[in-house]
Chain A
Amino acid sequence: MEFSYSYKGSTAVNSKGSNTQMSFSPDTKRQPTYFIGELGQNVAFREAISALHDVVVSDLRFQPKDKTAYKQWRAQQDEINWSLVLGQRQEVAEKIRHLQAEISGLQNLNNQRFAPYNQAKRKFFDHLYKVEYDAWFVFDPVITVNPDEIFFECFSQDESSYGRLGASYEVFKNINEFACGTTNVDYSADLYDEFQKVRSYKTTLLQVDPSGFEVQTTNEEAYKEVKIDLPDSWVRGFLQVSSAMSLPATRLDLHPMDIHNLCFILRRHKETTGPRSMRYQLTPGQPVKVVFEPWGIEVNCPRSLYMGNCEQTIRVWGRRRLLTLERLIPIAKKFTVHLLGTGMPSFYVADLGDMSFTLGLSGWTANDWSQSGNFDLMAPRADVDEWTQKQIFEALRENWFETPDSLAQRLNLSQTVVLGALSAYTQAGRIIYDLNKQVYRIRELSREPLPMERLRFANEREENATRFLNQNIVAVTSVNEKDGVMTLQGRVTDKNKIYTPNLTIDKDERMIEATCTCNWYQQNKLYKGPCEHILALRMQHARESR
């Protein structure tokens, strides 16, 4: 999916000893949105926006190590070893050693001679990396100005973490003028560096530059045209996480030092084998307990009691993403955790006083098919006709933010209808649910509406799987669990044909093995992802065990 922006110049920072002026360059193609304000809570804002930056650049996807050089060396070494073994006589071994010494000498010489070249090459690539650093970011953050607060949103490169920094107007000292709306801003690494210099003894002016909209397009050169081709999966991930926010969740509060302890465990230990999950053990009225697998380390949170109704255990994955919260520990008053369930997205809302930072995490760090099955997040929740939907949206637009209750009252509609319409817009990326203040806010993610039909499912197999579930033609026939590895067998009766999918899920809830009797599986095995029957079986099982 291609997004194109047009910025008037780059985001610029003017710092003059005691004051800094940060002027964000907004997307001039969108409706004018601007804001000028002087920072009041400098240091806290600095820490929070730095955490947001960590989300933007975070990429925790597994990067396989490049072992070609080692394998080459290993093969060579094996050959040498074998030649040593085979050379029975001392003489031969002596000769080989002599030659090896010569070769290594030559190789050293070779390396020495190539060294300046290699160094220069390295330097050149480093230079390129630095100069073109901003090209590494996937998506410029979105700034939304609302009547009560201004918030920054971003989504990480690995399609798994969502960050939102909301700053209410108390954070700013003098607010000059603002126009509500959403816009993309030109974002760069230099800007991050400049944020690091925010101090309380320096005045910092933050402005989403309104002058950008006034300039007539006379001189084309002045505009910076940016075209970003985002993978559909990225946009889908973003929408999934943001629509998950409006779903009912298990809520618990954590003391900042509890987060410190969670990070502490992660910093001190490194997992080599699975399962790599964090288990929230929640008992009503008791302190929250978090167990780290596979070590079984328990973190007790004596000052954070679980206030829910029923006892439950929720497992979450992708825990290293929590390290983003590290910088917020000293400035946070508390963290509110929203857990949607095992393998479902989770949210950490840091209460920073006048600011709030929301870290949204998808079920797993890797957003690939081995953990797929989350697309019911994007399923429509209630049938609301288009006209009513539009009416509700326009009503919300008047106030920019509102709770569903008051909206229902104002429009004289039932709450279900309002919620259904709002969730539909949330899924389309036009409205966002603010976990901190529990209100819906207008936030148009893109200038043009997103193509929802294309985004809902990654492929037609997912679509078919949901259809099977809706038609109720999927049955789980047997469930076997051994050493934490679960084997499922099932039956799908589609158009008078019976398919018997079979799948194995490991301790980290990853699909590690699957078979099916359908043609797709016979032809592709798992190389192109699982077939619709396997997906349907997995979802059916998830539904039954919920």
Chain B
Amino acid sequence: MKLIKRTTLYFQEGTSDKVYEVDLCQVDETNYVVNFRYGRRGANLKEGTKTTTAIPLAKAQQVFDKLITEKTDKGYYDINIGQAVGQASQSTPMSTVNSTSDPRKQAILIRLKNKKPSAGQLERAIWRAGELKITEAEPLLIKLIGTEEALRDYCIAWSLGWCGSQKSIPYLQQLYQNPKTPDFVNRIAFDALLKLLDDQGKAALKSEKLASLPPDLKSLATKASPQVFAASLNDYLENGNYKNFAVLDTIYQIDNEIVRPALINILRTAPFKPSYFQRLRHIFKMAEYRHDAEVYALIAYRFEKQREMFNSESCHVKLSDGQYLSSSNRKYNYRTYKYEPVVSEVQEELQKPESRIAYSSKTREYLRFRVWRTLEELGKQEDAAYIKMAVGILLEYSDNDAIQNAWFPYSLYQTFNHIIYENSSRYACYRGGWFCKGNYRQDNPEPQEREEAFPKLWEQHPEALIHLLCQSKCLPVNHFAVKVLKACANYLTSLDIPTIIKLLDNPYEVTTKFAFEEICLKNYNPASPNKELLLALVNCLYKPGRTQAYQWIQEKRDILFSDTDFIISLIISPQSETRISIRPILNSTIFSDDAAKIIVGKIISNLLIPENQGKTFEIIPENIGQRIKDIGETLFISFAPQLRSLGFQVINDLLQNTRIEIQEIGARILLNHETKTENLPPQVIQSLLASPHDSVRVIGIRLFGQLPDAKLVGEDRVIIIAMAINVVADIREAIEPIIIRLATKYPDFANQIARDFIEVLLVPEKHEGVHSFLVKLLNQGLSENLQIWKHSISKETALRLINVKSNPAQELGGAVLIANISQWQSEFTANEIVKLSNSQMFIVREGARQLLTAKLDSFRENTNEMLAGVRLLESKWEDTREFAFQLFTKEFTPEEFTPQILISICDSVREEARSLGRDLLIRNFQAQDGQEYLLKFSEHPSVDMQLFTTNYLEKYASGNPARLQELKPFFVTCLSRVNKAGIAKKRIFAFLESEAQKYEESAKIVAEIMARQSLTMAISDKASAIKIMLHIHQRFPNLVLPMDVKEVVKVRT
């Protein structure tokens, strides 16, 4: 069968990518067949035929054309056209827009005059008068005092404190001294008096309070140190009962420099629990009244952080002793059989002076909201106290308060968010919680517009913002302050240098950026650079700032570098970038030897100061190691000559230091020291090699490498090998350059050491990574200019390497193989090459392929070698198979494809190899071999080859009973296929039918086959078998057949 014409069609649509191949083949002079193949491109194609029996050329051509038009109509095409579909998506930016009067005083005054309206409204009016500081209300308020309503008195006292004058003092004093006045009114009256009285009056009032302190504390409160007072106060509180806690109120009322620290300490740590809490609440209210930002902010902050002691909503409260208090306010009465309202146990408990519970969830909520309400009122009145209090509150927060898994890190804090995000476009307060607005998410960029409450107020107080920036350890606060300050350009020009330096030292980049861009850049005077400012700038967080500073330093180098301390500060800068960036500037500067020595000396003495005493490294302790390394590096780059002549005493001190980095510096100094290595005391190298630190040992190895070559190549080779196969990777790497250097110089050493390494590679790896290191060294390190060692390896050693389990060793074996291809090509047989081409290492397979390519000519001549080479087609590896396919399709001529080779390819178990075999066969078909193909393929077990074989039946088996007998197993096998091989069956039936008519001998053979096959259940097969038997019966009636032919009786009705 010979290929006449082949058309390959493609089809691509969506995910489908198909091929359809149509062949027109010549069977003999006059007969042709049309076969086709189809399937996914690149996969094994399915075979089929359009012609069950061979047909003349004209007809075959027709079938061929028809099939092609049929396929092209379906969308197949001859040349493939690529299609590309591109998509673009758009997103629309989202934006949201936010939006927000003195008849009031009049109304309040009218209400105060007219005291008739309901009580609640009157109190409200009194309070408002204070809030709005309506001085006109003072006489009206004074008239209202003394109505026996404690709450009203409280409000009046409160209000008078704000809007009153000297006139109110006697009334307040009367209220304060009246023993009938309740405690809470008494306290507010005291504070109101403090507001209104002059200094003398205040002092008198306070000393009166002082006198009321318990005797133990009284003397301490004026004379002792704050610590002593704090201790005895704690002692007093711990050892007394709840009544003792009242002293806290008194202390805040006294509020002098001795008692205040103790009080603040208590406020910061006291549990929000009974005995403490009540007093804390009193102090909170007083602080609010006094606008005492420190105390107020502290307590406000604690309200935010401290969870409530009990939940007001819950039906009971558990006490610390395990007892439960019911909060139910209804109780079942067994007499009336009804639930009756009662005061709940919780309420009852709260009323008691020695109550065991306090700070309920409702209390907490109320107090948290009160903080912002107070601030808001202040803000609305444009009171500077707002700024004071807000600053106090903001300073309480730090980055530690950020909470993960919340809407945004600070979303839980009420007042904090109100202050800095009140007008924000991204965060909003809803029902007491803070959420992200719209599409904004935590990691989106920050909006540019300002977000704080009362922006104008802030602008009026830029110094408060500077204070915030210098003090705050909270990122959002820094962002907020920077934004506001940007709007106060005039103020910024007046800042002094220490403040700017403070801003530059800030740990937040946003602040340092602001300080650099808005202050330094605008105010810097290049003519007279300020060293402190420059140092602050090079150490700051903001990179462009630092870069600018380097430039400024570079420009004014002559002036600045006259100061060695300035240089040292730069070299040992805590900022790693500065430590590195300073090197080129130093390098381009020429120092006098003395100056350089001073610098080196100072730096080294700095290094040698024990950590706990030196002030050099206190800033970022976790980076000391890196810092010392950088400093060492700078020394080696810029002051190498000075280090070369450094005294041994100093080096020894460095080596003795406890820090590895410093030891390393010492070792490296030795490495480049003017004293030659061999003149060093031998114990120095030994102690370095024995160091517990790998990095120091590595330098020791390098020192070792500086020993005279003769010694290294000779007696020390064993040590070198031991280092090269050491457990520690660093040591292996350190010895690598020494080996490379020696190997380059002494080829014999290279050969010797390569052989030693190969011995190591041949045994299983002891430590992980050794093999791959050795292979890398041999392959890359030694091979650059030293290919010789590879040529000194024998073929056997190479094969041993390839057969070893370790992958790197196999790889090296492959490399050796490739290096020696020209030398070894004659030594390898095809079988060996096939074995190599199945190796799991790519490089070995590559070597095998190169070997084969090199000896292709000798391969061509030897049929046996080629036969062995056929196995390449069956390799497990795609690359080898691809190579083999290329080889067999491109390299050989029809003469070289002997039938034996083609049959061997077709015998493959791989489907694609078989189809290649068939393809090669029909291309290189020689008519005289047809017989052989027919007989040999007839034994093939696979369906595709059996179908292929049927093509040869007509030409090479017809009219030959002996051949028919030989092919009998083939016929039986094909016909016995279950539900398969339809076309082959059809062809065989057709062939046998015609054969049976020729000779009786043939008919006998056919009859035997048919007798067996006629038993099948497949209807068409059964029919064919019976038909053939019938024809045999008609032609040769003597033959015995397992059937009884009956006369057909025609019955007509």
B1016 at the interface (CB under 8 A from A): yes
B936 at the interface (CB under 8 A from A): yes
Partner of B1015, one of A15, A200, A267, A302: A302
Task: Give, as a whole number of angstroms, the nearest-CB distance from A163 to chain B.
Answer: 18
0 or 1 for each of A13-30: is its CB under 8 Å from B? (1 = yes)? 011110000000000000
B1017 at the interface (CB under 8 A from A): yes
Task: Tell me whether A199 and B936 are in contact in the complex, defined as CB-CB below 8 angstroms, given that A102-B89, A263-B978, A330-B976 are known contacts.
Answer: yes
B695 at the interface (CB under 8 A from A): no
A295 at the interface (CB under 8 A from B): no
Inter-chain contact B978/A199, CB cutoff 8 Å:
no
Inter-chain contact B89/A199, CB cutoff 8 Å:
no
Task: Give, as a whole number of angstroms, the nearest-CB distance from A531 to chain B.
Answer: 44
Q: Which residues of B contact A50 (CB under 8 A)?
A: 941
A124 at the interface (CB under 8 A from B): no
Partner of A131, one of B867, B874, B876, B978: B876
A265 at the interface (CB under 8 A from B): yes
Partner of B969, one of A43, A109, A255, A258: A43
Q: Which residues of B contact A109 (CB under 8 A)?
A: 87
Q: Which residues of B contact A303 (CB under 8 A)?
A: 1015
Task: Give, as a whole number of angstroms, the nearest-CB distance from B241 to chain A.
Answer: 62
Inter-chain contact A299/B1017, CB cutoff 8 Å:
yes
Q: Which residues of A contact B144 (CB under 8 A)?
A: none
Task: Give, as a whole number of angstroms, the nearest-CB distance from A256 to chain B.
Answer: 7
0 or 1 for each of B1011-1025: is its CB under 8 Å from A? (1 = yes)? 011011110000000
Inter-chain contact B1015/A258, CB cutoff 8 Å:
yes
Task: Tell me whether A17 and B867 are in contact in the complex, defined as CB-CB below 8 angstroms, given that A260-B1016, A326-B978 are known contacts.
Answer: yes
Q: Which residues of B contact A258 (CB under 8 A)?
A: 1015
A3 at the interface (CB under 8 A from B): no
- Interchain CA distance A270-B307 in the complex, whole Å: 69
- Interchain CA distance A255-B1016 in the complex, whole Å: 11
Inter-chain contact A329/B909, CB cutoff 8 Å:
no
Interface residues on A, range: 35 or more
B972 at the interface (CB under 8 A from A): yes
Inter-chain contact B1016/A261, CB cutoff 8 Å:
yes
B292 at the interface (CB under 8 A from A): no
Q: Interface residues of A: mostly helix, strand, loop or mixed?
A: helix
- Interchain CA distance A193-B941 in the complex, whole Å: 11
Q: Which residues of A contact B935 (CB under 8 A)?
A: 201
**CB under 8 Å from chain A, chain B span 988-1035:** 1012-1013, 1015-1018
Q: Which residues of A contact B972 (CB under 8 A)?
A: 330
Inter-chain contact B907/A197, CB cutoff 8 Å:
yes
B548 at the interface (CB under 8 A from A): no
Q: Which residues of A contact B941 (CB under 8 A)?
A: 46-47, 50, 196, 327
Q: Which residues of A contact B973 (CB under 8 A)?
A: 330
B904 at the interface (CB under 8 A from A): yes
**CB under 8 Å from chain B, chain A span 253-301:** 255-258, 260-261, 263-265, 267-268, 299
Q: Which residues of B contact A122 (CB under 8 A)?
A: none
Inter-chain contact B864/A267, CB cutoff 8 Å:
no
- Interchain CA distance A331-B935 in the complex, whole Å: 18
Taking CB as reference atom, which chain B residue is nearest A261?
B1017
Task: Tell me whether A330 and B867 are in contact in the complex, defined as CB-CB below 8 angstroms, given that A199-B939, A261-B1016 are known contacts.
Answer: no
Partner of A43, one of B907, B939, B1015, B1016: B939
Inter-chain contact A201/B1016, CB cutoff 8 Å:
no
0 or 1 for each of B381-424: is its CB under 8 Å from A? (1 = yes)? 00000000000000000000000000000000000000000000
Inter-chain contact A16/B1015, CB cutoff 8 Å:
no
Partner of B1017, one of A43, A46, A264, A331: A264
- Interchain CA distance A258-B1012 in the complex, whole Å: 10
Partner of A260, one of B867, B969, B978: B978
- Interchain CA distance A109-B87 in the complex, whole Å: 10
A130 at the interface (CB under 8 A from B): yes
Taking CB as reference atom, which chain A residue is nearest B840?
A131
Q: Which residues of A contact B1016 (CB under 8 A)?
A: 257, 260-261, 264
Q: Which residues of A contact B871 (CB under 8 A)?
A: 15
B868 at the interface (CB under 8 A from A): yes
B979 at the interface (CB under 8 A from A): yes
A87 at the interface (CB under 8 A from B): no
Taking CB as reference atom, which chain B residue is nearest A257?
B1015
Task: Give, as a whole number of angstroms, the nearest-CB distance from B81 to chain A.
Answer: 20
Taking CB as reference atom, which chain B residue is nearest A123?
B878
B31 at the interface (CB under 8 A from A): no
Task: Tell me whether A16 and B864 are in contact in the complex, defined as CB-CB below 8 angstroms, given that A260-B976, A261-B1015, A265-B1017 are known contacts.
Answer: yes
B672 at the interface (CB under 8 A from A): no
- Interchain CA distance A130-B910 in the complex, whole Å: 14
Inter-chain contact B1015/A197, CB cutoff 8 Å:
no
A105 at the interface (CB under 8 A from B): yes
Q: Which residues of B contact A15 (CB under 8 A)?
A: 871
0 or 1 for each of A148-182: is its CB under 8 Å from B? (1 = yes)? 00000000000000000000000000000000000
Q: Which residues of B contact A16 (CB under 8 A)?
A: 831, 864, 867-868
- Interchain CA distance A196-B908 in the complex, whole Å: 8
Q: A14-B831, A260-B1015, A261-B1017 are in contact. List 18 more A-B contacts (CB 8 A).
A: A16-B868, A17-B867, A17-B868, A131-B876, A196-B941, A197-B908, A199-B907, A199-B936, A256-B1012, A257-B1012, A260-B976, A264-B1016, A264-B1017, A267-B978, A327-B941, A329-B978, A330-B972, A330-B973
Q: Give the interface of A toward B (CB within 8 A).
A: 14-17, 42-43, 46-47, 50, 102, 105, 109, 130-131, 193, 196-197, 199-201, 255-258, 260-261, 263-265, 267-268, 299, 302-303, 326-327, 329-331
**Sample of 22 A–B contacts (CB below 8 Å):** A16-B864, A17-B904, A105-B89, A109-B87, A131-B840, A131-B876, A193-B874, A199-B936, A201-B939, A257-B1013, A257-B1015, A260-B978, A261-B1015, A263-B978, A263-B979, A264-B1017, A267-B978, A268-B979, A299-B1017, A327-B941, A329-B976, A330-B976
Pairs A-B, 10 closest by C-beta atoms: A257-B1015, A17-B867, A267-B979, A330-B973, A193-B909, A261-B1017, A263-B978, A329-B976, A330-B976, A330-B972
